[in-house]
Amino acid sequence: MKKLILFIVLVAGLPALLSSCKNSDEVKFGSINANTVESTQATESSLMPTLEVKLPPPYSLVNINNALEEYINYRLWLYPAKVKLNASSKNFDPYIGQAIEVEVRVYEDNSGGKKVFAQTNIGEWLVEFKIGNGIVYCDGQISKEDIGLWPEGNDVVVGSFEVQIKEPHKPNYGTSTRKDAMITAAEKHLKDICDDLLRGEGGDIWVGTTFYLEDFYEYTDVVSAWLVRPDGYVWLSPMYFTEDNDVYRATGMKGFGIDDITKWDRYDLTRYAFDKGTQDAVRKFTCNG
């Protein structure tokens, strides 16, 4: 049963609970708005452009650099190697306090489609970059063994830079009008759940339940909430967003319950996700009807 729970956690999208992860090591993370590079931590003088003109817009070495820094921090914060099942050749933990070298490549397939990747000097894997709602983000790491994921076609090196691996901190999930609308939709969905639980059979046991909505990047499709009853019972409640004419709706997905997660080892994958998800929650309320 515990293995099943771990699998569901990864699929449900722990912030990442992100629906497009390629494996347990790969989650989506955010960077900066591609049109606001002035506010980025990286500067053009710290980068080494070679053929940056080959980058498809709105990519630049600046927003790629920042997306990678956010990705690395996200991995270290939520998926550190010390947590069970997280150790892999793609971990950044051994390099904290060091600088790694990064080479940015553009792959072009036979139809002219372009994809942006980065190669580092600490592994044979590639990091893939994508754009969502105007945000350049890292979509995870891929190896040649990942069938169907390794890029095909010719590649061109468009620039390089160094990234300093720092001690992790809470990810910069960002704020925006769009994200506010998504949070409002998630809150409505969770308050509907609260009302249903209180009105249902045995509803008294849900009085005083604390709802924690995990923080998330605004391009995320799937987020999760943790429902913690006063008696210690925990329910993971994932949901996905849909949008119609700028109106967002959150729809529930299948979750699962845990009798007393505080009895689990703190470095168990599910326990660690619970601790981070509740501590970093973007919204929290008590279900009292």
The domains of the chain are located at: 19-164, 177-287
Asked if 82 and 266 count as a contact pair (C-beta separation under 8 A), the reply is no
pLDDT of residue 111: 87
pLDDT of residue 8: 40
Asked if 125 and 90 count as a contact pair (C-beta separation under 8 A), the reply is yes
pLDDT of residue 42: 55
- The dihedral region occupied by 275, where left means phi > 0, alpha psi between -120 and 50, and beta the remainder, is alpha
Tokens 């009807």 — which residue? 289
Tens place of pLDDT per residue across the chain (289 aa): 433 333 344 434 444 433 333 333 434 444 434 333 333 345 555 666 667 768 999 999 999 999 999 999 999 999 999 999 999 999 999 999 999 999 999 999 888 889 999 999 999 999 999 999 899 999 999 999 998 899 988 899 999 999 999 999 999 999 999 999 999 999 999 999 999 999 999 999 999 999 999 999 998 999 999 999 999 999 999 999 999 998 999 999 999 999 999 999 999 999 999 999 999 999 999 999 7
